[in-house]
Amino acid sequence: MKIAIFGATLHAALMAGVWAETGHQVLWWTEFDISISIDALNLDQALFTLLQQQQQQGRLTSTTLDTLPLDIDVYFFAFNPSRVAQALDVATQLSLKPLIHPKLMINGSTFGLHGTAQFAQILSQDFWVYLPDMIQEGHPLGSFTQAKQVVIGAQDNSAVRCQVRELLRPFFPLQHQYLFMPILDAEFTKLSISGMLATRVSYMNDLAQVAEKLHVDIENVRLGMGADSRIGAIYLHPGVGFGGENFSRDVITLSKTLSNTGISSQLLQQVWEINEQQKEILFRKLWNYYCCDLSGKTIAIWGASFKANTSSIVNSPVHTMLQALWAQGVIVKLHDPQALEQIEAQYGSRHDLILCQESYEAARDAHALCLITAWQSYYSPDYQRLKQQMAHPFILDGRNIYDPAYVKAQGFAYEGVGRA
């Protein structure tokens, strides 16, 4: 098939790559040439390589609205909420073209409820389908291709559903893998999934605080809960809170959606409040350790992105940490494998922020080392080197990736989240 993709998002990039790889001819529209858009998205290496390969093989090409051919079989829209006006403008320009209707139009944009209906009002002669963005930033290819089932919002039309299944057949070959439902149901499902995952994270963070008071190791509790088949282990890791643009936005959107119906969701409000409070937990531990006096201290931070394998710092816990430390006159030395440019772009040049290209350089002369992001390269540090370079051997483990007993045996003071 010939597939036109609109939008410069991770969802657009992923679908462009996998559809081109499986033999479709993909034409991708962004504000700029797709090579520029691909670089700007800061994709993980696997997806970046896939897109490059498909460009080289000629199955993935740039397009403009003016040069877009009329014999497109499928149109796929994948825009962020900040680009609603742009997305609707693209749809309007398409409506002015002499297309042979009806066409299959797929909305993969994250506009919340009734997002697909906004497109359908403009291109009303076409068949509309909603394919929610369920991919995980930092692990996009695997999160899509390894999914057991796919949620699809579509009207009850056998021809439309048959074409959708053909598009997704290389990834979901079995009939039972398709969960077809009305479009609004699918849009609400997308928000509800994010709300459930956020609830699990905040629940574990709440338990972690209780565990500390009871001298219980939350890691044992987490493993025990995850072993129960009714619960499972996913999203049960306590830490310094969740972040990211899509995840955080979905939780807020779902909470507002419920409120707009006249139903106030105290649960979601508490989930969000717990998460925002959790972003302060390492600072509170540091504050107590130094007896409420951090003036003149140098603090190292490992990790700025909201999760590993991404450069995104949107809603990352690092922002709360930075603001709290700076308010106390602390100098921060920060390392992250991918997000330093984003930090510099947001905060600019300041005397109390030193961006370090090497992780151990960040720890030099530091009175504490705070781990914010669980990058793989942080899992097994050279403790003796750290001890020699730090002004004081104190590690605050915001993701519970270290063994407290082992770290203490190396001569460090240690604080985790809910670790006895």
- pLDDT of 108 > 80? The answer is yes
Report the residue count for the chain.
420
Per-residue model confidence as pLDDT tens digits over 5-28:
999 999 999 999 999 999 999 999
Name the packing angle between helices 218-227 and 183-214 (round to 10°): 140
Please report the DSSP string for 6-17 in residue order.
E-SSHHHHHHHH
- pLDDT of 263 > 80? The answer is no
C-beta contacts of 90-93 below 8 A and 24+ residues apart: 90/6, 90/29, 90/65, 91/119, 91/122, 91/123, 92/122, 93/65
User: How much of the chain is in helix, strand and coil states, percent to nearest 5?
Assistant: 45, 15, 40
Mean pLDDT to the nearest integer, 117-138 = 94
Write down the residue that tokens 């604080």 correspond to.
415
Per-residue model confidence as pLDDT tens digits over 402-412:
999 999 999 99
Please report the DSSP string for 81-130 in residue order.
GGGHHHHHHHHHHHHTS---S--EEEE-----TTHHHHHHHHSTTSEEEE
Torsions phi, psi of 158, nearest 5? -65, -35
Count the neighbouring beta carbons within 10 Å of the beta carbon of residue 67. 9
- pLDDT of 65 > 80? The answer is yes
- 253/109: higher pLDDT: 109
Instruction: Report the C-alpha gap between 366 and 375 in whole angstroms.
Output: 20
Per-residue model confidence as pLDDT tens digits over 323-356:
999 999 999 999 999 999 999 999 999 999 999 9
Percent share of the chain, pLDDT over 90: 86
Predicted confidence band of residue 262 (pLDDT cuts 50, 70, 90): confident
**Vertex 81: Cα angle to 252 and 165 (nearest 5):** 100
pLDDT at position 53, please? 95
Residue 98 and residue 123 in contact, taking contact as beta carbons nearer than 8 Å: no
Least confident of 33-37, 138-142, 293-297: 33-37
Mean pLDDT to the nearest integer, 150-163 = 94
By DSSP bridging, strand 127-130 and strand 150-154 are antiparallel
Residue 29 and residue 87 in contact, taking contact as beta carbons nearer than 8 Å: no
Torsions phi, psi of 50, nearest 5? -60, -45
Per-residue model confidence as pLDDT tens digits over 178-223:
999 999 999 999 999 999 999 999 999 999 999 999 999 999 999 9
For residue 302, give the H/E element and its range.
strand 298-302
- 361/269: higher pLDDT: 361
**Mean predicted lDDT score pLDDT of the chain:** 94
